[in-house]
Structure 1
Amino acid sequence: MEFTLGQLAALLGGKVEGDENQIVNRLDKIQEGLPGGISFLSNTKYEPFLYETKATAVIVSEDFKANKSFTTTLIRVKDAYSGFTTLLEAYAQFSKMALVGVEEPSFKHESSTMGDEGFRGAFSYIGKSCQIGVQVKIHAHAYIGDRVKIGDHTIIHPGARICSDTIIGANCEIHPGAVIGADGFGFAPQEDGTYRGIPQIGNVVLEDYVSIGANTTVDRATMGSTVIKRGAKIDNQVQIAHNVIIGENTVIAAQAGISGSTVIGKNCVIAGKAGIVGHLKIADNTTIGANTGISKSIKDPGQTLFGYMGFELKNFLKSYSIFKNLEALEKRIKELEKKG
């Protein structure tokens, strides 16, 4: 991928100081910059590298003033760090969406449709009656079951499994090894001590701009839908059980587990290894700390919970100041008992 400095400056809303027709094809660290690369300078600690770098161009902030001469071309933007972040985002998106066509062998059932500018990687599988939008990228060894719907610009990474009847919105990203729509954990205990499987006949719905991490599992509903709403971001190795609802723009970190039929509000933050039991409601803007267990509904929005089982952060910190010193307190009590 090659771009002129003029094109990049237009993307970033900046100005080129030098030849805007120079071409770059790579993003470099400023200390490792070579011809054809573009870097950025936002931290003054790295300013000495500006005077040494061989990068074709360096992005700097509008107010930057050099103390020595340099050979690289500058692109001045409002904020260098934000500008380079925008460039990284554009580069990553361009790389992801550049693939077009079909690698063989791959399979798509004749009853399924796929929009223009899509990609099917080798050994990918698309079942019956699927509706797949434009610029959807389905990478190698990905599985798409029957009657699946996938919105425009969504990416299904290698080895992901999208089970039957799943609905995925636009601009979603499903990372390698994720399983969307496997059966929920539904078993009815019997009088003889065995368990009878309950058919899981619902589905999973992912709204637009949802990201599902590698090896994460989202179970289909017993009836109805398991729903992950617009903008939610789910990390690697997360378990989301049947009939769960995850609110808009909620983020869930690795190894967290959400039990069946729990409803998580919008803009929540659930840290790694947190566990939430079933049939609860978690209010909007709740933060749940790492390794925290939640056993009852959280009704008031905006709380931060920590501990096992989880309770309000201020109360936890007060209690922690006591129980971290329990050994010393016990010793003092025994000494007082002896004196008594």
Structure 2
Amino acid sequence: MTAAAVAAQVGGRLIGDPDVAVRGVAPLDRAAAYELSFFSDQRYAGWFAESHAGVVLVSPAFEHAPGLPSTRIVVEKPIDALVGLLSRFHRTEPRAVGVHATAVVSATATIGADVTIDPYAVIGEGVTIGPRSWIGAGAKVGAGSVLGSDVRLHANAVVYPFTELGDRVMLHAGAQVGREGFGFVPRPTGVVRIPHVGRCVLEQDVEVGANSCVDRGSIDDTIIGAGTKIDNLVQIGHNVRIGRFCFFASQVGIAGSSRIGDGVQMGGQSGMANHFSIGAGASIGARAGVISDVPEKETWSGFPARPHKEQMRSQAALVRLARLLRPLERLLARDAEASVSTVSQGPDVSATGSSS
């Protein structure tokens, strides 16, 4: 794209040469003369000053900032403008419609129009796959599962039997959905697994990251609401209900029978104990441990998790406490030294007189 075409697409004001051509996107510090970048934060002024980017999207505050890039496009929100351009530079993965010769597809499966089934994929009995879906190499779809249209299973993803995936659901490599949950009952003769008769339902536009697991319900259904995005290495237990448009960062763990409202965000390595709830619009900080109900629209952090401001005050109090203790520790140390000195000198045995 030329600089002029970029400016026209993002609705920005062009400064410099309109004929400069770009064919890729890169950050300021490593962009080349044929690449597009952006600058919207003073922290990166040093990078901008030395950047070799051919065209830079800049916010109005930085349109005259000193720097090598002379072709600049002024927009209110450079990052948003760049996101709108990324599809023009994204290289799509090649795809051949049809069933590969090495794939195993049950005769009772129903395959929609324009579906791609890659090498060594396995499609079980009674499976339904909607139009334009793409089943990656080595992926498996268990018996009785229903996949909507435009579903994407990347390599080695596993859909366990009787699982439902809505339109445009995406499972990344190694993701597993619909497996039986972690449910056992101790008996005198040993531990017995609880049969899981509930379903696992992922509504439309759900995305599950690489090597993440979503368990099916034991007696209830596990349901992931529409538009929810799940990062890599996330575990979601049985009977969990998650609302629409939630975001879960890497290594989040949700224990069984939890309830999570719409629009909830959970930071990396945070966890939630079973049978608790998080209200709609709430945010959970990274590495927080939720062991009680979280009200709507609140931000909680720490372990055990509590309101973020309360958690920060608690941490600040600990820091102040350490400063308060130092003088006391020094005083106690001096007293201890004085006691040791007194003991080492021994008792006073001065003579009090003698007789002749």
Using structure 2 for the length normalisation, give the TM-score: 0.75
Question: Quick one: which amino acid aligns to residue 151 of structure 2?
Answer: T
Cα distance between partner residues in 2 of 1:119 and 1:263: 35
Cα distance between partner residues in 2 of 1:78 and 1:317: 33
Matched, 1:195 2:185: no
Cα distance between partner residues in 2 of 1:145 and 1:6: 51
**Higher deviation after alignment, 163-172 or 316-325:** 316-325
Q: Is the 8 A contact 1:97 1:137 kept in 2?
A: no
Matched, 1:307 2:302: yes
Matched, 1:124 2:154: no
Matched, 1:186 2:186: no
Distance 1:27 1:185, change over 3 A: same
Identity %: 29
Partner of 2:82: 84
Match of residue 281, structure 2, among 285, 289, 300? 285
What displacement does 1:257 show? 0.9
Cα distance between partner residues in 2 of 1:286 and 1:244: 17
Partner of 2:162: 165
Cα distance between partner residues in 2 of 1:129 and 1:275: 36
Q: Is the 8 A contact 2:12 2:73 kept in 1?
A: yes
* 3-state secondary structure, aligned to 1:320: helix
Partner of 2:231: 235
Matched, 1:316 2:311: yes
What displacement does 1:141 show? 0.8
What displacement does 1:188 show? 1.2
Distance 1:138 1:146, change over 3 A: same
Q: Is the 8 A contact 2:25 2:89 kept in 1?
A: no
Cα distance between partner residues in 2 of 1:61 and 1:288: 32
Distance 1:273 1:32, change over 3 A: closer
What displacement does 1:11 show? 6.7
Distance 1:18 1:281, change over 3 A: closer
Equivalences for residues 1-340 of structure 1 within 5 A: 26-29=23-26, 33=32, 39-40=36-37, 42=39, 46=48, 53=54, 81-89=79-87, 92=90, 95-96=92-93, 98-190=95-187, 192=188, 194-298=190-294, 300-333=295-328, 335=331
Q: Is the 8 A contact 1:97 1:135 kept in 2?
A: no
Distance 1:304 1:76, change over 3 A: closer
Question: Quick one: which amino acid aligns to residue 316 of structure 1?
Answer: Q
The structure whose Rg is larger is: 2
Question: Quick one: which amino acid aligns to residue 265 of structure 2?
Answer: V
Distance 1:240 1:81, change over 3 A: closer
Cα distance between partner residues in 2 of 1:121 and 1:6: 41
Cα distance between partner residues in 2 of 1:314 and 1:78: 32
Give the alignment's Cα RMSD to 1 decimal: 3.8
What displacement does 1:219 show? 0.4
Cα distance between partner residues in 1 of 2:316 and 2:76: 46
Q: Is the 8 A contact 1:126 1:146 kept in 2?
A: yes
Distance 1:130 1:47, change over 3 A: farther
What displacement does 1:139 show? 0.9
What displacement does 1:104 show? 3.0
Cα distance between partner residues in 2 of 1:10 and 1:109: 51
What displacement does 1:194 show? 3.1
Cα distance between partner residues in 2 of 1:33 and 1:278: 51
What displacement does 1:332 show? 4.5
* 3-state secondary structure, aligned to 1:39: strand
Cα shift readout 1:152-206 (whole Å, capped 9, x = no counterpart):
222111111111111111122111111101111111122x383211101112111
Partner of 2:352: none
Q: Is the 8 A contact 1:59 1:83 kept in 2?
A: no
